[in-house]
Amino acid sequence: MANKIIIITAPSGAGKTTIVKQLLSEMPQLEFSISATTRTARENEVDGKDYYFLTQEDFHEKIEAHEFAEYEMVYAGKYYGTLKSELERIWQHGRTPMVDIDVKGALSIKEHYQDAALTIFIQPPTLDALRVRLSERGTETQASLEERLGKARYELSFSHQFDEIVINDQLAIAHAEVKALVEGFLK
C-alpha cells in the first residue's frame, strides 16, 4: 500500500517527542511531519523545523483555503494543524510521514486515511508521573502545567480508540515497542 502515515499521540508530557525523535534518527524511511501552530516558539525551537509558526491571521487563511488535513485548537486560543502540503512533500520524498499530534487530530486523520494510517497512543504510567515529567521539562508555567494535566485526564479516556497503546514507563522498553509496531506496519 502506498502513502502510509504513522500517527503518534499522547497527553502532553507522556514522552511522545522523545520517542519520535529516537525513531526518526534510526529509521530513514520516516520523516517528521512539521505542523503549523499559532503558539509562540520555545527558546530552542526553529521555524520550519519544529513547527511552522504562523500568525492567527495566516492560520485562519489556511483553514479557509482548506489547506489542512486536520487542525485543532489544542489549548485556549492556540491552533495546531497538519498541512496537506506537508504530507505530500514527505510522500514525494518516498518517505512515510511521522505525525505527532493531539488525540482529536489523530482520530480525524485516522478517520480519513483508515488502514493507511497507524495510530499509536503513548500512555504515561500515572498522572503523577506526568506532572513530574512536565515540571522537570521546565517548559510550563504553573497555569499551563495545570491546563496540560487537565487535558491529559480527558485525553486518557480516548486511549482505547487507537490502534495501539504503549505505556511509557521505562523509556527504552516503550521505544522498542513503538519501533516494532512501526516496522511491522511498514513491512
C-alpha cell at 10: 499522547
Shortest Cβ distance from residue 98 to ligand ADP (Å)?
13
DSSP annotation of 161: G
> Nearest to residue 22, comparing CAs of 138, 158, 136, 177?
177
Minimum distance of ligand 5GP from residue 183's CB (angstroms): 22
Buried b (16+ CB within 10 A) or exposed e, 116-147: ebbbbbbbbeeeeebbebbeeeeebeeeebee
Which of the listed partners (ligand 5GP, ligand ADP, none) does 105 bind, with a CB threshold of 5 to 8 Å by partner kind? ligand 5GP
Question: Nearer to ligand 5GP by C-beta: 31 or 100?
Answer: 100
Q: How many residues does the chain have?
A: 187
Instruction: Report the largest interatomic distance among the alpha carbons of the chain, rounded to a whole angstrom.
Output: 46
CB of 106 to ligand ADP, least distance (A): 13
Give the shortest CB-153-to-ligand 5GP separation in angstroms: 14
Residues that bind ligand ADP (CB under 6 A): 10, 12-18, 133, 136-137, 168, 170-171
* Residue 93, contacted partner among ligand 5GP, ligand ADP, none, CB below 5-8 A by kind: none
Residue nearest to ligand 5GP (CB): 105
